[in-house]
Chains A and B, each alone.
Chain A
Amino acid sequence: MASPFPKPNETVALPDPLREAVGQLLLAMADDEVLLGHRDSEWVGHAPILEADIAMASIAQDEIGHAVLWYSLLQELGWPDPDRMAYFRDPPEFRNATLVELPKGDWAFTIIRQFLFDFAEKVRLEALMASAWTPLAAAAAKVRREETYHLMHSRAWVLRLGDATEESHRRMQAALEQAWPHALGLFEPTPGEILRVEAGIQPPEAELRARWEAEVRPILEAASLRIPEAEPVYGGRLGRHTEHLAALLADFQGVARSGLGETW
């Protein structure tokens, strides 16, 4: 039965094929966040100092919360519910960039990955705040405010570790070399991009990448880190992943798929 109440936010109808195209964008965003949240959670109980441990737990919770929000918008567009999306899909069905599926590595890699991701999310959210699809614009504005804390955290760590000691510099530089090509993959064109751009849903991925580089390059340089010249690692947005995703999903989805979950 239709709700007797008017919607609080005016909604722009999304007829196919635009509905499918917007869904592909949300899927990429949700899959990025749920997997990075899982990787971040792997630090709980293991981070180098207690404050960092608490921070990683909190950031993991935020990222997974944001994933649920994007999956919920997907559900409104006709996709299955968030639990089914997170726990009952196989690697080829995931549309995350490969950056977020890589193992957590050392603390330097964790910080570099989070930093590159947080600023990518910042420029994406700031662009989506002007999206023609109002539910997405409203959610982007909400998440953008929360991300302020992640940005403060990862920027501070990059600046601190970039040139603290010979070892911290060496580890951060190695982490950047490893993460950078995968981070460029965050801006891999996704199916339906042209439709979304034409409809005012989002700016082109290439434009987001340029804005992102303008933000991260000065900070990395201030941290005495050299930005690698590397080609992007693409494929994640099309379901082509590294071998690490299957192992991550086995861990992440194991309990839900055991059939024991429903009535805890």
Chain B
Amino acid sequence: MVSEGAALTREAVLAALEAVKDPEIPTVSVVDLGLIYEVRVKGDEVEVDFAPTFVGCPALHVMEQEIVACIRALGARSVRVQRVYRPPWTADRMSARARQALRELGIAPPRPVPAEITLTAFEKLPCPFCGSTDTRMENLFGPTSCRALFYCNTCQQPFEAFKPL
């Protein structure tokens, strides 16, 4: 069954998935985070290739459940969300809109991710509040797997940063 007026297409599914957010980053959709690798529609069956940021992220189940519910609401009879590890998700997949939304939440978005992540990736990271690069990394680990803790020496605000991955 397809809901009236809307054909079940790849584009319709992608548009609907804009409503599914990361529960830890409630203004950014799974599409803007770059977590949706592919959507395949065949009749009323849909498969979604979904890439985790960090494998141990406890929000993965929540997002997967919401993806299924969201696509079923479009009229799909069967929805399968498949976790994909190749190519690994990297922060370079985030959209410009996602980066801006992160800044507004006080989370510095990552710079382009180098092939080998080293501590230099954490030097002079712009503060999401004042833009100063006079900042220091306080802890590689933070409130979620994907965030690290920083301090801005200019505006004297602690802030979080999305880890390069």
Contact = CB atoms under 8 A, between A and B. Distances in A.
Contacts of A3: 47, 80
A75 to B, nearest CB: 12
Contact of A138 (B56, B85, B165): B85
B57 interface: yes
Interface string A4-21: 110011000000000000
B119 A152 contact: yes
B8 to A, nearest CB: 14
Nearest to A136: B85
B140 A152 contact: yes
A149 B163 contact: yes
Contacts of A4: 42, 45
A30 B145 CA distance: 19
Contact of A5 (B47, B57, B165): B47
A145 interface: yes
Contact of A51 (B47, B85, B138): B138
B74 to A, nearest CB: 18
Question: Considering residues A58, A63, A134, which has the most beta carbons from chain B within 10 angstroms of its beta carbon?
Answer: A58
Interface in A185-211: none
Interface in A42-92: 51, 54-55, 57-59, 61-66, 68-69
A163 to B, nearest CB: 21
B84 interface: yes
Contact of A8 (B38, B54, B141, B143): B38
A63 B165 contact: no
A148 interface: yes
A58 B82 CA distance: 25
Q: Which of B38, B47, B117, B140 has the most CB of A within 10 A?
A: B140
Contacts of A170: none
Given A5-B40, A5-B47, A153 B141 contact: yes
Given A54-B139, A55-B140, A62-B145, A8 B55 contact: no
Interface string B28-55: 0000000001101010010101001011
A59 to B, nearest CB: 7
Contacts of B82: 8
A143 interface: yes
A5 B84 CA distance: 14
Interface residues of A, number: 32
B55 A142 contact: yes
A57 B117 CA distance: 22
A173 to B, nearest CB: 26
Nearest to B148: A149
Nearest to A49: B139
A149 B140 contact: yes
Nearest to A139: B85
B112 interface: no
A142 B88 contact: yes
Interface string B42-83: 100101010010111110000000000000000000001010
A248 interface: no
Contacts of A149: 140-141, 163
Nearest to A64: B56
A8 B86 CA distance: 9
A141 B139 contact: no
Contacts of B80: 3
A173 B88 CA distance: 38
> Quick one: which of A4, A51, A59, A146 has the most chain B CB within 10 A?
A146
A66 B58 CA distance: 12
A61 B53 CA distance: 14
Given A51-B141, A138-B85, A146-B165, 6 more contacts: A3-B47, A4-B45, A8-B86, A142-B52, A142-B88, A149-B141
15 contacts: A8-B37, A8-B49, A8-B84, A8-B86, A51-B138, A57-B141, A58-B142, A58-B145, A62-B56, A62-B145, A66-B55, A68-B55, A146-B54, A149-B140, A149-B163
